């Protein structure tokens, strides 16, 4: 069946990049927390930050035919059919049911070794 989730990368423009993951819903919080730590050096540049987060999330499946898709959406209607998480580069928040600051998200879901030394 799958464990589908969409990661929406919002950069303040009218369109957003979306990473669709067929199997990522079960581990999205720690996976995204680690990806945010990875992207920390470029978190203020949404184009590089988006690329670094996507690269981190798909790193073990980058050459696979299935599992992930990338597409764009226009506007702010993120009702995409599966669970959707918004990575908002303007406000530096992760939004599932409510917005959580990048740093707070990493502290809540990141590995202890990463969160002690790396603050987004």
- Give per-residue pLDDT as tens, 38-84: 999 999 999 999 999 999 999 999 999 999 999 999 999 999 989 99
Q: Could you give the angle at which helices 28-39 and 46-58 cross, rounded to 10 degrees? A: 130
Domain range for 84 is 5-117
CA triple 9-12-18, angle to 5 deg:
20
Residue 108's closest CA among 4, 34, 25?
Answer: 34
**What is the model's pTM?**
0.90
**Mind giving me the DSSP string for 23-70?**
S-GGGHHHHHHHHHHHHGGGTTSHHHHHHHHHHHHHTTTTT-SSSEEE
Q: What does the pLDDT read at residue 120?
A: 56
Phi-psi region at 2: left, alpha or beta (left = phi > 0; alpha = psi -120 to 50): left
């Amino acid at each position: 069946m799958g464990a589908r989730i969409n990661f929406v990368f919002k950069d303040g423009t009218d369109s957003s990049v979306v990473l669709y993951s067929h199997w990522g819903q079960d581990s999205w919080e720690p996976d995204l927390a680690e990806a945010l730590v990875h992207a920390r050096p470029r978190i203020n540049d949404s184009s590089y930050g988006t690329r670094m987060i996507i690269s981190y999330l798909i790193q073990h499946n980058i050459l696979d035919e299935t599992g992930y898709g990338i597409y764009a959406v226009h506007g702010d209607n993120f009702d995409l059919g599966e669970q959707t998480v918004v990575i908002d580069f303007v406000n530096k928040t992760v939004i599932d049911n409510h917005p959580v600051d990048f740093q707070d998200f990493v502290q809540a879901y990141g590995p202890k070794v990463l969160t002690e030394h790396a603050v987004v």
